[in-house]
Amino acid sequence: MIMKGKKGLIVGIANNKSIAYGIAKACFEQGADLAFTYLNEQLEKRVRPIASEFKSDKVYELDVNNPEHLESLTKSLEEDFGKIDFVVHSVAFAPREALAGDFIDTTREAFDIAMGTSVYSLVSLSRAVMPVLNDGGSILTLTYLGGPKYIPHYNVMGVAKAALEASVRYLAVDCGKRQIRVNAISAGPIKTLAASGIGDFRMILNWNEINAPLGRNVTTDEVGKSGMYLLSDLASGVTGEVHYVDCGYNIMGMGMASKDEDGKTKLAWDLKK
């Protein structure tokens, strides 16, 4: 199995609909031993059953904005594993009000929260795990097309994802000194807990399904398998990359299809003017 003998940490899993769950599942099925984190008591009740599903009792409390938690995490990983081989960073947050209205109205407080939790957490987490991460290991984070492109209602989170993708490149250089790779997956829209905070998300799902080259939306399992590849030795020569797993939607420069007044899907150039 591809991940046999590998040990990894999954940070930010919320439930079995999470993209991080799909990555954890793919890694587990290929032989990896996993540890998990939870943000608070409410999420602990969701995370522990998931850890048990993947034959793990390694579950740690972690608020990525709390330096004491990060320090404790390093000690726990060293005690339980000695060394690990990979880390999945699946952490993002912006106040709900910052995902509505116009981006220009974003408050300083909301901006700082989004950047600190969604971007700096990758930097601080990477630094925290360096003492226990094996040379040749891998760090993976999750981004979205709303970083390099405008996506309705994504607002400050889009700016945060753009900064996250830049952080991947800079971290890739720093960590490359130890042959540690840093990459990001840009998944297409999926019905997750995080996505529920984005306005008109159903419309975004429908638009992607209609216009993606594969004519459908991506699944959590598909993203999970791509994540497993980037975490594995199969991707030993890949770092600093943003890998799109979105059924090809990111290549489109124009909507290929839409719906006419009768609700029927038609190619854009066939629609009535």
Domains assigned to the chain: 7-270 (3.40.50.720)
Q: Active-site residues: which are they?
A: 144, 154
* Residue 238 identity: V
What is the band of 271 on the pLDDT scale with cuts at 50, 70, 90? very low
Confidence at residue 202, expressed as pLDDT on a 0 to 100 scale = 78
Assign residue 68 a region (left: φ > 0; alpha: ψ between -120 and 50; beta: otherwise).
alpha
Determine the average pLDDT of the residues in 47-58: 97
At residue 255, the pLDDT reads: 74
